[in-house]
Structure 1
Amino acid sequence: MSVKRSALEAAGKSYREEGISRRVRGIAVSAIKEMPLLAEKVPGCVSLGQGIPSFRTPEHIVEAVCRSLRQDPWIGKYSLGPGLPALRRALAESLREERGLELDPDREVCITVGAMEGLCAAMLTLVDRGDEVLLPSPNYASHIEQVLLAEGRPVFSPLRRQDWGLDPEAIRAKVSDRTKALVLCSPHNPTGAVFSREALRAVADLALEKGFFVLCDETYDFLTYEGEAPFSLLNVPELKRQVLGFFSFSKKYAMTGWRVGAVVGDGELLDQIMKVHDAAAICAPTPSQMAALAALEGPQDCVQEFRRILEARRDRVCRRLDAMARWVSYVKPKGAYYLMVRTHSLAEDSMTVALRLLHEARVITIPGAAFGPDGEGHIRLSFGGSEEELDEAMDRLEAWFRKNG
């Protein structure tokens, strides 16, 4: 069984086990995906669940793909496995300009089917049965399932509860002779925390001392609300042979449905990851790669506008939660577009709370238990939706807590 209760199982669904591999029996579909499936049977729901920004894909990206579909006969065919050379070059140049990273686009960049496929391919490449993977907890739900799919063992290291900050000493306490990797996501899904430079440097020193890999999920690297851009262990030269970075076009350019991302890192590591990428996907969809190229080469004011709007939505949701302080508490997010709400007025577990909110308030939330043991007692909210959706959802939540809190 998975390390957490499936939302569908909690709602009464059963799964066949006869003939199914141990690898697949040991994982679950993320509650992030399951709660919207359950909501299909509940009329009139509004969503604070899955992390889908409300924005349309920018017009210059759409137009570039339409033009290529009409003019370029190769766009409906496979690309090279590592991705279109022009896209790899453009991404390497973008990371050099924005992050100071020096990457060889021919050896150190691979375009994947979203960051998720890159993460899964890396996990299958690095983790053997029984290897331990450190997960700061709460942590993104799918990271847990990827470790389990590789037949590794997730080892949860609690974040600091007062600010969801990274705790290097808590991580050190969890390191063993079976530790193979650490997964970091900053800005953080599900808490919205941005890990400090000092804490990340301490973790880099630990990785160098103990020799484990670091997988940096950089999906929200563009989306911070307080001060400078987040620090990344990709910028620590000494870690070059131990660190991988995973990037996504989904949130930065409102391209969640295009399914295109990238993994960057040491060329010898990527040679091995490419084996899994080839076996699982062959290549990322060529039209989606063209969209990603247009995103990188086109105007970037859309990214600034997305950030401005999401910051306003964060503040809008936080004001409403402040009015519910009798029943809930939270840490104001500094990045991404999620926050973890502690339901301290309720005795039920987070899965029960999320299912009650779905059926009684008709609001989709994600149970905190989906994000590891330190997520229990919380629900995750996304403020990526439109202002109208957020207002309606918060109205319903407040009415529900008044009645039940």
Structure 2
Amino acid sequence: MNDNSNYSRHVPVSRRVRDISPSATKEMANLAAKTGGCVSLGQGVPSFATPDHIVAAVTEIMHSDPASGKYTLQSGMIQLRECIAGYLLQEKNISVNPENEICVTVGGMEALLTTIFTVIDPGDEIILPSPTYASYIEQVLLAGGIPKFVPLTRDWGLDLPAIRQAVNPKTKAVMLCNPGNPTGTVFSDDQTMELGRMAVDCNFVIITDEAYDYILYSNETLTSLLGLKTMREHIISVFSLSKKYALTGWRIGWVAADQRWMEQIMKVHDATTICAPTPSQFAALVALEGDQECVTHMRNALVRRRTLCCSRLDGLSEYFSYVPPKGAFYVMAKYLFSDSPSREVATRLLQEAKVITVPGGSFGPGGEGHLRLSFGGKSDEINEAFDRIERWLVRFG
């Protein structure tokens, strides 16, 4: 007798996957695609095209070098790792061995994920100053860890006494994005140095995400904790070329750490990706070694767009309050016109005004009541988005 009952049952999805949520940034983009006619203050993708000299050089390499379409060493091309080591020493005073303390990764995201899987066991806690980058939360959950949110201060600074109070025997790491996504904050050296001393004293790791290190709106420079010998074994640093060189789609970044950590990180990297895409590694090499005028051009444009975004928000002070961003290209705008959850406000704004934002609650409890606005888009798009928001707020009121 044929029993078809088994065909109606499903093998359950793993709990670790059921426990994570899709990115709110991607959810809003998907909703916008269905809505049509939207302008975006949402996804953190600058409008710039990959610089011509990078595209031209990689195209030539792909035509002339048969190895450019093949695997590299798992940790990346040695010439790229040597270039990265030189860059870290010159720009950040970080001394690392390119042979065994750098791993080239599939963007900063893979570097973060491989690091988290290396650092924590199921049930371990990672402290996330909140609002935090939303993907940190899902990556910690995916690894079986427990995100422990510690609110930032009202001006988006680190609340160091609260972090110290949150540390317990289960604490394995603190994750720090500096300059910050989603807040645009820049944590001062005094704050990060004190956090570094806390890591040594309490024996946890600081995972630093420095994807936006090139875009500061002041003349200050930031000290990278990995460059300090007293803290070295407690710091794992992640970098990305996605935003600095308009290489978001090329998916290229790296992680740098003491050899003891890197030996273990490499195991996860090898098991997940083998190596970063070879053409993208060549793109990274050309970007780092080539003319930096493109970076200056893009940075100057972002400075102007920051001014524009803040000016438009100032004109809506009855409806929004915000902390002016000190870095990156985001503003966390607190809305004053509604008590509704941020996902509801963002969804209404998208469907009714056709403006994409990202609900602040997706960045942890510290972000609720806010919308993350990105000013990475072109100036006319930023203006159009705010024009629509203004008209919508009149109707909303």
| TM surpasses 0.5 | yes
Q: Which residue of 2 aligns with 1:208?
A: 200
Question: Hey, what does 1:159 align to over in structure 2?
Answer: 152
Tell me if the contact between 2:95 and 2:227 (Cα under 8 Å) persists in the aligned partners. no
The answer for the alignment partner of 2:389 in structure 1 is 397
Distance (whole Å) between structure 2 residues aligned to residue 231 and residue 379 of structure 1: 30
1:309-333 superposed Cα distances (whole Å, 9 cap, x missing partner):
1011000011011010111110100
- 1:146 is matched with 139
Amino acid at match of 1:105: P
**Contact 1:221 1:229 (C-alpha < 8 Å) held by counterparts:** no
* Alignment partners' CA distance in 2, 1:199 and 1:327: 32
* Contact 1:50 1:382 (C-alpha < 8 Å) held by counterparts: yes
Aligned counterpart, 1:23: 16
What is the distance in 1 between the residues matched to 2:64 and 2:148? 50
1:315-394 equivalent positions in 2, closer than 5 A:
315-394=307-386
Deviation, 1:402, is 2.2
The superposition leaves residues 133-168 of structure 1 with CA deviations (integer Å, 9 ceiling, x where unpaired) of 00000000000001001100000111111x111121
Match of 1:288, SS state, is helix
Q: What SS class does the counterpart of residue 294 from structure 2 fall into? A: helix
Task: Please state if 1:44 is matched with 2:37.
Answer: yes
- Equivalent in the alignment of 2:120: 127
Matched residues in 2 for 1:234 and 1:389: separation?
A: 38
**Corresponding letter in the other structure for 2:269:** H
Residue pairs, 1:167-206, within 5 angstroms: 167-206=159-198
TM-score normalised by the chain length of structure 2:
0.96
Deviations 1:43-62 (A, max 9, x none): 10001111101001111111
In the alignment, the residues of structure 2 paired with residue 232 and residue 38 of structure 1 have an alpha-carbon distance, to the nearest angstrom, of: 38
Equivalent-residue separation in structure 1 for 2:224 and 2:175 (angstroms):
12
CA shift, 1:230, in A, is 2.3
Post-superposition Cα deviations, 1:256-288, rounded to whole Å, max 9, x if no partner, equal 000000000111211111111111101000000
Work out the CA distance in 2 between the residues paired with 1:92 and 1:59. Answer: 25
Give the counterpart letter for 2:171 in structure 1: T
Matches within 5 A, 1:266-277: 266-277=258-269
State whether residues 108 and 253 of structure 2, in contact with CA within 8 Å, keep that contact through their aligned partners in structure 1: yes
Tell me which residue corresponds to 2:288.
Answer: 296
- 1:180 & 1:358 partners in 2: Cα distance? 39
CA distance in 2, matches of 1:17, 1:367: 33
Q: By how many angstroms is 1:229 displaced?
A: 2.1
Residue aligning to 1:8: none
Which blocks of at least 5 consecutive residues in structure 1 are unaligned?
1-15
Residues in 2 aligned to 1:172 and 1:190: alpha-carbon distance in whole angstroms: 23
1:55 corresponds, among 48, 51, 68, to 48
In structure 1, which of residues 84, 104, 119 is the aligned counterpart of residue 77 of structure 2?
Answer: 84
- Secondary structure of 2:345's partner? helix
Residue type at the aligned position of 2:23 = S
In structure 1, the partner of 2:5 is none
Counterpart position of 1:11 = none
Separation of aligned partners in 1, 2:301 and 2:11: 49
Q: Please tell me the residue identity of whatever aligns with 2:289.
A: E
Deviation of 1:18 (Å): 5.5
C-alpha distance in 1, partners of 2:351/2:364?
24
1:17, 1:199 → 2: CA distance?
50
2:76 and 2:380 map into 1 onto residues whose CA distance is: 39
- 1:10 aligns with none
Partner Cα distance (2:291, 2:174) in 1: 35
1:308 — aligned with what?
300
Per the alignment, in what secondary structure is the counterpart of residue 41 of structure 1? helix
After TM superposition, the structure 1 stretch with the greater mean CA deviation from structure 2, 235-244 or 349-358, is 235-244
Match of 1:220 in 2: 212
Given that 1:341 and 1:380 are in contact with CA atoms closer than 8 Å, whether structure 2 keeps it comes out as: yes
Distance between the aligned counterparts of 1:401 and 1:378, measured in 2? 15
Equivalenced residues, count: 389
Shift of 1:26: 0.6
Counterpart residue identity of residue 137, structure 1 = S
Distance in 2 of aligned mates of 1:373 and 1:383: 23
Structure 2 residue 225 is the aligned partner of structure 1 residue 233: yes
Provide the C-alpha distance between the structure 1 equivalents of 2:40 and 2:320, rounded to a whole number of angstroms.
19
Residue 121 of structure 1: CA displacement? 0.6
- Contact residue 17 and residue 25 of structure 1 kept, 8 A: no
In structure 2, what is the Cα distance between the partners aligned to 1:223 and 1:49? 19
Structure showing greater Rg: 2
The answer to whether the 8 A contact 2:331-2:373 is kept is yes
Quote how far apart the aligned CAs of 1:345 are.
1.5
The answer to whether the 8 A contact 2:94-2:224 is kept is no
Q: Does 1:65 align with 2:74?
A: no
Output the aligned Cα RMSD.
Answer: 1.1
User: Could you tell me whether the CA contact under 8 Å between 2:197 and 2:231 is conserved in 1?
Assistant: no
Query: What is the Cα deviation at residue 231 of structure 1?
Result: 2.7
Report if aligned partners of 2:225, 2:232 keep a CA contact under 8 Å in 1.
no
The whole-number CA distance in structure 2 between the counterparts of 1:382 and 1:18 is 40
Deviation at 1:254, TM superposition (A): 0.4
Identity %: 52
Q: Secondary structure at the match of 1:219?
A: coil
Identify the match of residue 287 of structure 1 among 279, 294, 299.
279
Q: Deviations for 1:333-357, whole angstroms, at most 9, x for unmatched residues? A: 0000001000122111100000001
Give 3-state SS (helix, strand or coil) of 2:174's partner: strand
For 1:188 and 1:276, how far apart are their aligned partners in 2? Answer: 26
Amino acid at match of 1:238: T
Shift of 1:17: 8.8
SS in 1 for 2:164: helix
Displaced runs of 4 or more, over 6 A? none
Q: Secondary structure at the match of 1:40?
A: helix
Residue 56 to residue 158, structure 1, CA distance change in 2 (3 Å)? same
